[in-house]
Structure formats: C-alpha cells, structure tokens
Structure 1
Amino acid sequence: MPQPDYQTLIDSPTWDFIRQTADFYPPDAVGLSIAAQRAVYDRMCCAFHRGIPAGVAVSDHAMSGVLVRRYEPANPAATLLYFHGGGFVVGGLDSHDDVCAEICAATGLRVISVDYRLAPEHPHPAAFDDCLAATRAAAVAFPGPLLLAGDSAGGALAASVAHACRNGPQITGQVLIYPGLGGNRDRGSYLTHADAPMLTREDVLYYAAIRHAGQEPKADPTAAVLQDTDFTGLPPTVIFSAECDPLADDGRDYRDVLLAAGGWAEWHLEPGLVHGYLRARTTVPRAAASFGRICAAISQLAGR
C-alpha cells in the first residue's frame, strides 16, 4: 500500500522532535536487549523532562502493593489515575513524571501515576491487574470523582480498567491518548501508516508478542477492549489519536462502538502528529495545542 507523504503531513517542528528522539537510539536498536531498550528510553525521557510546575507536591506511595507517584495540587477537585505508555515493556514513574505533574497543574486534579509491572518479566495480565488494583485502592482512599487516563499502552490499560469497573468503583470519565485498543492490524491505519515515524506496524506486533509471551489472547477485553462484546455502561470517553500513527483507527473505532451502545464519546484525530507526541508538547505547536485539549477534556469530564 502506498505510504503517505510525511514530508507534507508533518511540519518542521515535529520533524525536529522526531530527529531528537531518534538521536538517542543506536543504529542497531532493533537488536537491543530489553534492559538496553529501557535504558535508552529512560535517557530519552530524562532529556525531554521539563520539570515540575510550582504548587504541585510529589510523593511516592504503595497502593494495594503497587508503587504509585502522587501529584497533589492545593485543593484537588477530583482524582485521576494515569497509566504510562511504553509498549508494556519500557517506561515507569520517571518517564511520564513531568507530563503527570503538568496535568495536575493544568486541571487542579490529584494525579496518581501507576508503576505497573512490565513484560516480559511479567506478561499479561500483570499490568492490567496492577492498574485495576491501584484504581480500586484510589477509589477507597480518595472518595469523589475518579477518572482514568493513559497514553499508548497506558491508554489501552485505562480502557480495560474502565470495562472492568462497570460494577464499581464508578469511573467518572476516561481520556485515552494515542491508544492501541486491539483493532484489526490488517486494514486501515495499520496499513496506511505501517511505516510511520516513531511507531510502525512491526513495532506494534513486536511489543504485543512480548506482552503476551507469544500468542495473543482472543476475546479478552482485559488485553484489548475492542475484543469486548458489550460496550454499554462505560464512562464518558475522549480519545486523542495522532494522524501519522498505525494505531489511529483504534481511537475512531472505539468511539463508534461506544456511541452505538448509547454511550458518550469523542474522538480527536490530531493532524500531522506522531505517536509519542506528549514529549513534544513544549517544542511543537501542534503538540502543545493537543496537550491543551487533553487537559481541557480531563477538566470537563471531572466536572460532568
């Protein structure tokens, strides 16, 4: 299938971000061990770290045996559980530290970032189990509106937790940022953007194989919510997809099944943006605008 003209779709600041990211990866990155991949990813995220906004208190805790990092504004209006991206293989509390702190500052919500277990040491459903346990613990510790959010793999985890919580605790809303939700990888954006900058279709398949130790489960919404057969009773949902991303259609398809089931959902396709653009929110105008929309969506859902 002919690939899009990324030189036209992607603007100069975004290309600068793509090149800055690529500079952290050696030529033989495909053959790196899991430990080496994590080390590279951690160095990259540290280089993009923009600090903690004033007025945000940060502390680490354990909730139901899961390590979390809590970001507290002066008077939190609600609580947001945040699940980081990284293909279920890389990332942690530090990789998304400034993102969570900025969401806290922008929304006035308490943000709890979850350090779920990673594959391959802990294959599915370990990450899902940790995120669900932390969500249930947060509902007890912080009564009031409870929201979920996450990017990439974390968006998938947030959606799966929302499906699992239909019988409690009540989830006020969820915001999913360029999530992979288990769509058909042989059609649509998976083929159109199979070789997109920042994330390719082969990358998606690679991380899925690691997450599931080989064979992916079927009809398992704890792994991929688009495999569910019931989309009723889910919280209001806002989804942000990057245009130049093989995962883009998953966001649209999830919105469609939620609406068909009588739910409330919005999907935003962010023009010219690539997977992982949260790290570009201070240097790329398009990413900054999208991050503003993400924070506004979280605030609006908290107040619904």
Structure 2
Amino acid sequence: MPVVLDPDAAAVYQAFLEANRPPYETLTPPEAREMYLAARFVSNPEPPELQSVTELAIPAPHGSLPARLYTPKRLRSTDGLAPCLVFFHGGGWVIGNLDSHDVVCRTLAHEGEMIVISVDYRLAPEHPFPAAVEDAVNATRWIAGNARQLGIDTDGIFVGGDSAGGNLAAVTALAARDAGPRLAGQVLIYPATDLAMSTPSHSEPETSILLTHSVTRWFIGSYLGNADVGDWRASPARASLAGLPPAYVLVAGADPLRDEGNEYAERLKQAGVAVTYRSFPGQFHGFFTMGKLLSQANIAASEIGAWLKAQG
C-alpha cells in the first residue's frame, strides 16, 4: 500500500527539502551532531514546567556517563518512591545527546507522572558497538541499584527510547530479563530491531524521508564497524523474546524502520509478551520529537504517558 504523508508531515518535509540541508552522511560526525542539535529549536514544542531537573553522573568502567533526572510537578509515588523511565535518545548511535531529547524527556515525565532519567551513552564511530549497549545496560543496573536514593520504586523501572534509543531499550530489556534488574516495561518508539536492513521498507522510495536509506546505512556502518549484524545486542530481533516485560511499540508509515518495528511487535506477541502497538501511517521517522510542527507527536506522547500510568 502506498505511503501517503499527513498534510502537516508533508508540509514539514517540503520545508526540509527547501532548506537544502546537507545529508548527514556527507558531514563529519561532529558536524552532523551540531546540525542535528540546532534543528531542535525549530521543531521541539514548548516543554511542560517540571518540579526539578537534576544533572547526574553515572559511574562507568570508562569514567562516568552524563545523565539527567526529570521530576514532574505531579508525581505518582508510594512511600516517597516513584516509577522511572530510563530513556535512551535516538540519532543512529552517532548523533543526539541529552539536549536533543530534553523536551521529549520533560514531556514524558509530565505525561507519565513519573521520574525520567535520560542517559547520554557513548557515540559511534569514536565508540563503536557494543559501547552504547554496555552504557545502556550498565546505567540501567546502576539506577536500579541506587533506586531508593534516587526516589525510585524498584518495581516501577521502565526502559525506553526512539530509533537507535529504541534499539538500546529493547536490548537492555533482553539483558535485564537474563541478568536483572527486573523491569516493568519497555517503550519502543520506531525502534531499530534488525540492522541487516533487509525488510521492504528499507528499499521503498516513499520511506526514504528525512531518515533516508543512505543515511541509515551510514549510521549502521558507523555503529557496527566490523561487528556481526546477527549479534542480538545489535539486532534484538535475533534473540528469543519470551519472558520480556510489557511493551509499547510505535511505528511510522513513512519510515525505513517500519517493517522491522511491525515484525518485532508481532514476535513479542507470539512470545507471550503483552504488547500495545501504535501505528502513525502518515508520519515519517523522527516525527515524535517535532511536537511544535506535528500534532501527532503530542498525541503520541500523551498516549505513551497513559500507557506508562496504566502499568501501575
């Protein structure tokens, strides 16, 4: 079925084309990061007012990981302890940081009435696979191990992220299933789940929008290097999915990652995992961060918040 963009998404895409920005893959990684970070001022909505935002340094074997803890004004808590979403930003494992997804995390904290901790994992190609995975898993374990001091309920820890961050959330959920900590759920926003790029949506012209097929190859090549694409830590779809916590899986219609997101949601269901699946057929990859321009992004954030609250 042909992909037809929603009118607002089509307008944003047209403006993007008219801006004539250089493709990320033609830039150096530092240049690509700077361009990506600057774009947030155009597309991010006004953030909700929170109770507090605190900078953290999470201990890691290589030093420490910057992180940011968001506490909303309305916080669900029992005996002073609240649920927490550990969030990993998107950006193809190459671009993005705490600031690029600051508004997203503020919004999810507000909508979910819970603590959100955004983790700034190491980026490729300077730190190729499995550095980002190690950081995501270690950060989640550290947060769980220090939950009480952070005001977090150990029975209410979720992982989540968009795109590459969705990949890291899915992999972290698998690692936690096998070695702890116990997670309450996973939020996978148009996640990358199989880095072989073999599904039809990786070759359809109408999905090569913003996240083009060319830049997808650049991101994956920068991240994987010579690593095995079949390693479940890179491609979580290659793992057994039984025993995972409940999942919220969001896909976009005009997205190279659409089919692998669809297949991952279906495989989770077949493995007996409780899945809430949400498709935005008229949106492109990356729309979730563009709430100033795309009302569907704000709808998605509200729905994710409601799902998080419904998990208890």
Which of 142, 147, 152 is residue 137 of structure 1 equivalent to?
142
| 2:236 equivalent to 1:225 | yes
Tell me whether 1:293 sits opposite 2:288 in the alignment. no
Aligned-residue RMSD, C-alpha: 2.1
Equivalent residue in structure 2 for 1:257, among 228, 251, 267: 267
Q: Write out aligned runs for 1:180-195 (5 A).
A: 180-182=192-194, 185-193=197-205, 195=207
- Matches of residues 121-132 of structure 1 in structure 2 within 5 Å? 121-132=126-137
Provide Cα deviations, 1:264-304, integer angstroms capped at 9, x if missing partner. Answer: 12322212010000122233233332222222222223x1x
Picking from 161, 178, 181, the partner of 1:169 is: 181
User: Residue 21 and residue 28 in structure 1: after superposition, are their counterparts in 2 closer, same or farther (change >3 A)?
Assistant: closer
Residue 50 of structure 2 aligns to a residue whose secondary structure is: coil
1:220 Cα offset (Å): 1.4
User: 2:230 is paired with a residue of what secondary structure?
Assistant: coil
Distance 1:27 1:237, change over 3 A: closer
Report how many aligned residue pairs link the two structures. Answer: 295
Structure 1 residues 231-242: aligned runs within 5 Å: 231-242=241-252
- The residue type equivalent to 1:18 in the other structure is Y
Give 3-state SS (helix, strand or coil) of 2:251's partner.
strand
Greater shift after overlay, 195-204 or 142-151?
195-204
What corresponds to 1:44 in structure 2?
Answer: 39
Highest relative contact order (Cα 8 Å, sep 6+), 1 or 2? 2
After TM superposition, the structure 1 stretch with the greater mean CA deviation from structure 2, 257-266 or 151-160, is 257-266
Q: Aligned to 1:182, what secondary structure does the other structure show? A: coil
Q: Distance in 2 between matches of 1:141 and 1:155?
A: 23
Query: Is this contact kept in 2: 1:197–1:274, CA < 8 A?
Result: yes
Q: Does 1:201 pair with 2:213? A: yes
Q: Residues 23 and 162 (structure 1 numbering): CA distance in 2 closer, same or farther, change over 3 Å?
A: farther
Q: Give a deviation string over 1:15-65, Cα, whole Å, max 9, x none.
A: 232244456663465421111111111111233343442233111111122
Rounded Cα–Cα distance in structure 2 between residues aligned with 1:50 and 1:290: 13
Q: Secondary structure at the match of 2:92?
A: coil
- Counterpart of 1:165 in 2: which secondary structure? helix
Name the CA shift for 1:184/1:222 in 2 (closer, same or farther; >3 Å): closer
Question: Greater shift after overlay, 272-281 or 49-58?
Answer: 49-58
Distance 1:121 1:27 in 2: 22
Which one of 157, 160, 167 corresponds to residue 156 of structure 1?
167
- When normalised by structure 2's length, the TM-score is 0.88
- Out of 230, 246, 249, which is 2:256 matched to? 246
Task: Quickly say closer, same or farther: Cα 1:11–1:218, change in 2 above 3 A.
Answer: closer
Which residue number corresponds to residue 29 of structure 2? 34
SS in 2 for 1:185: coil
Kindly provide the CA deviation profile for residues 76-109 of structure 1, in whole angstroms up to 9, marking residues without a partner as x. Answer: 5301100000000000000000110011111111
Give the alignment's TM-score, normalised by structure 1.
Answer: 0.90
Confirm or deny that 1:62 pairs with 2:63: no
Share of identical aligned residues, percent?
33
Cα deviation, residue 183, structure 1: 6.0
Task: Label 1:20 to 1:113 Cα distance change in 2 as closer, same or farther (>3 A).
Answer: farther
Partners of 1:171 and 1:45 lie apart in 2 by 31
Change (3 A) 1:41 1:256: same
Q: Please state how far the C-alpha of 1:227 moved relative to its aligned partner.
A: 1.4
Provide structure 2 residue ranges, at least 5 long, that are not aligned to the other structure.
77-81, 148-152
Deviation at 1:179, TM superposition (A): 0.8
Change in 2 beyond 3 A, CA 1:27/1:86: closer
Q: Would you tell me which structure has more strand in proportion to its own residues?
A: 2
Given that residues 83 and 131 in structure 1 are in contact (C-alpha distance below 8 angstroms), is that contact kept between their aligned partners in structure 2?
yes
Cα shift at 1:199? 1.4
- Cα displacement string for residues 215-274 of structure 1 (whole angstroms, at most 9, x for unaligned residues): 34143111110111x211101011000011110111111122222222212322212010
Is the CA contact (8 Å cut-off) linking 1:209 and 1:216 kept in structure 2? no
Q: 1:87 to 1:29 in 2, by over 3 A?
A: closer
Match of 1:268 in 2: 278
Residue pair 1:194, 1:202 contacting (<8 A) in 2 also = no
